[in-house]
Structure 1
Amino acid sequence: MLNIFNQDHDLAIPMGIPHVFRFRPPNEKTISELKEHYIWFSDRNSLNDELDSNPEFVKLSTNPEEQKLLYDTIAEHILDPKVKAYFDKHMNTERLQEFASTKIKPFVSSFGIACFTMYTINEKLWDIYSENNKGVCLHFDSSNDPKFFHNILPMFYVSEIKEREYSAISQPNHIIDLFYKKTKNGLMKKNLDF
């Protein structure tokens, strides 16, 4: 009898790095992914947990040094003399902070999200993401396209999502962890819209 955990068997499913798997429900998007050879990325509004990647947990840093750094960085990249003159005359760090804060939600919402796992044997994931075991599990070798898979990181399950201060210039990648945290309760929800 074949045991998929016996990695020495010819028919064994390779698991662990660089192999990743994606559970998909039996629907038109999954069929389209298979036919057209692409990976569907959900927008954050269609995720199964309203706390996932929620921009409401990101606040722009109010540190005066960070605000000045943001102001100076934007000012030095304005090439048009008229725009630069307007910026210098009408913009200050407080107004820039207010304006930049309005851009956090569109920025976070511009990212698509696709979830993967390293192991096929996870009953909860089969139930939730493949519509109660009716769907499929897609297998990818991430080493075949390292550029595409470079952002695959582990998901951290936490009791609550906490607000974070975002320093857009000095720590531009600090916002990334927003996409890799999920509440422990979020995994239990089954009202999925893929």
Structure 2
Amino acid sequence: MKVYKYSPFDNYPIQNLKNHDLWFSKPSTFKDEWDSNLPVIDCDLEVLTKKYAEDLSKIPNEQLQGLSPPKGLFETLESKDTNDSSEQTLLKLICDYKDSFVGISCFTTKLNDQKMWEEYGDNHRGFCLCFETNLDHSFFKDLTEVQYEEYLSTVNYFSHDLVRELYIQYTTKLKNLVWEEEYRLLKHMSGKFSYNPKCLTEIILGKNISHKHSNTINNILQNSYENQVKISRN
């Protein structure tokens, strides 16, 4: 599967390109106030903690280690002191979890899209990374398609399927954003994560990118990608 990531030409994206890294953002940094912040059905935290403590005991350790990002919420629930009334709200628990255990990187399936260039590619002065996800399955294994809804879902963390509820929280947006055709990759924390350079198959330069910036990207591809990445202009 091919996915694309539009980016301005800034210091951080360029350093990440040089080092084969992608940045995974904290949900709290997103501009849309409802992004990863869906309404939550509140419930008794002590009851919820006991429920998932029981569930934890049934999950093999190797499987638990692979639960990312849900693993973070399991750990938080397991270690939470339910007698501490100052911490005893589900909403605060979820906020703490999002800040500590969730990192998100956003992609699209739209190639050379005018609106994507305007919104995310610095009005054609940036560049677009083209990834073939099958060439780095371990990195992209949790890539998930964003669902667009007329009205935002209410998340129920007391559901029998906590993993599903977590993904609803981070992969649901309003229908007015359906034009983005977004996919999201979730990791167990924010920060930089490295991909296999072979999965980056092409870089598309914006039509308004400067000659200097174009040369910088060309040099990075020569030095860090052994000229294996195609380069083109939109």
Q: Please, what TM-score do these two structures have when normalized by structure 1?
A: 0.64
Instruction: Describe the shift of the 1:65–1:45 C-alpha distance in structure 2 as closer, same or farther (beyond 3 A).
Output: closer
* Inter-partner Cα distance in structure 1 for 2:116 and 2:96: 29
* Correspondence 1:102 to 2:92: yes
Structure 1 counterpart of 2:73: none
2:126 equivalent to 1:126? no
Read off the aligned partner of 1:25 and give its amino acid letter.
Answer: P
- Cα RMSD (Å): 3.5
1:156 alignment partner in structure 2: 147
- Structure 1 partner of 2:40: 58
Unaligned runs of 5+ in 1: 1-17, 77-89, 189-194
CA shift in 2, pair 1:20/1:115, >3 Å: same
Contact kept, 8 Å, 1:61 with 1:67, in 2: the verdict is no
Residue of structure 2 equivalent to 1:3: none
- Corresponding position of 1:38: 21
User: C-alpha distance in 1, partners of 2:11/2:20?
Assistant: 14
Query: Deviation string for 1:16-58 (max 9, x for gaps)?
Result: xx1111111121111111111101112222223121111x623
Greater strand proportion: 2
Which string of whole-angstrom CA distances, capped at 9 and with x for unpartnered residues, describes residues 155-189 of structure 1? 12223323211137x3221211111112244679x
What does residue 191 of structure 1 align with? none
Q: Report what 1:147 is aligned to.
A: 138
Q: Which amino acid aligns with 2:149?
A: V
Identity %: 25
Residue type at the aligned position of 2:8 = P
In the superposition, relative to structure 1, how do residues 71 and 19 fare at CA in structure 2: closer, same or farther (>3 Å)? closer
- CA change 1:160–1:25 in 2 (3 A) is farther
Query: Kindly tell me: are residues 116 and 67 of structure 1, through their superposed partners in 2, closer, same or farther at Cα, counting changes over 3 Å?
Result: same
What displacement does 1:147 show? 1.7
The CA distance in 1 between the partners of 2:46 and 2:29, in whole Å, is 36
Give the structure, 1 or 2, with the largest relative contact order (CA under 8 Å, sep 6 or more).
1
- Residues 59, 31 of structure 1: CA spacing in aligned structure 2 closer, same or farther, 3 A cutoff? same
Residue 23 of structure 1 aligns with which residue?
6
